[in-house]
């Protein structure tokens, strides 16, 4: 079976380790040389006696996704543009493709970012945000989106799409240049334009 890590599995593994009382607190510096050994012992016990955190439901799908991730890991993200002319546009005027849940999960390589999308979009709706299109390439969008964690910070997201799919993306956040999966900002915009905006609601999640 081909396995791959997505963030919620990693966080769940960390939470499992911290269930051991010794590792659920800040340790004194004189214990630093031994922490690695303690963690290996705890992980060995967990692997032996506790159930797996994630099980494959479809082995063929996992293999295909792992192959896709491996191929994308060799690509470079060159979508970010220099000085060009952008024109503001209302999201209702964007002919963005409607994506299925399966297509969204394929882009994000999991569901962690998708689960965050409602709260990110709530920031977009209420914050200092704007969506524009490229004057010479209407299928290329640039979105200014509010940071969820720092009120004074903004990120720029670029998304290039076709009639039926999203072709490429870029974000100025720390994880935004990845080509294997997408950051939470890109995910939120794609989720909103491809699906959520058609639901006819103005409230999507809890603003941080």
User: pLDDT band for position 7 (50/70/90)?
Assistant: low
pLDDT number for residue 205: 54
**Tokens of residue 150, six digits:** 């720092």
Contact 2, 63 (CB under 8 A): yes
Residue 107: how many CB atoms within 10 A of its CB? 20
**pLDDT (mean) for 160-184:** 86
User: pLDDT band for position 2 (50/70/90)?
Assistant: very low
Quick check: 81 pLDDT over 70? no
Quick check: 201 pLDDT over 70? no
φ/ψ of residue 169, rounded to 5? -160, 160
pLDDT number for residue 1: 32
Q: How far apart are the first and last CA of the chain?
A: 39
Distance of CA 28 to the CA centre of its chain: 35
- Tens of pLDDT along 99-119? 888 888 888 877 888 888 888
As a 3-state breakdown, the chain gives helix, strand, coil percent values, each rounded to 5, of: 45, 15, 40
Quick check: 154 pLDDT over 70? yes
Quick check: 48 pLDDT over 70? yes
* CA pair distance 207, 154, nearest whole angstrom: 15
* pTM beyond 0.75, yes or no: no
């Amino acid at each position: 079976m081909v396995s791959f890590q997505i963030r919620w599995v990693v966080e769940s593994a960390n939470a499992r380790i911290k269930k051991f009382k010794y590792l659920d607190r800040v340790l004194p510096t004189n214990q630093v040389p031994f922490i690695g050994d303690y963690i290996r012992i705890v992980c060995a016990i967990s692997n032996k006696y506790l159930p797996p955190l994630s099980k494959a439901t479809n082995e063929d799908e996992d293999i295909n996704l792992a192959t896709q991730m491996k191929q994308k890991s060799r690509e470079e993200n060159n979508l970010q543009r220099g000085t060009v002319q952008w024109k503001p546009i209302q999201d209702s005027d964007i002919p963005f493709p409607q994506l299925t849940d399966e297509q969204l999960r394929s882009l994000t390589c999991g569901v962690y970012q998708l689960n965050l999308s409602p709260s990110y979009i709530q920031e977009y709706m209420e914050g200092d945000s704007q969506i524009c299109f490229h004057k010479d390439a209407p299928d290329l969008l640039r979105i200014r989106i509010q940071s969820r964690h720092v009120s004074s910070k903004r990120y720029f997201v670029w998304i290039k799409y076709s009639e039926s799919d999203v072709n490429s993306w870029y974000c100025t956040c720390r994880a935004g240049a990845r080509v294997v999966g997408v950051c939470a900002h890109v995910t939120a915009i794609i989720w909103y334009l491809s699906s959520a905006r058609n639901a006819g609601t103005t409230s999507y999640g809890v603003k941080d």
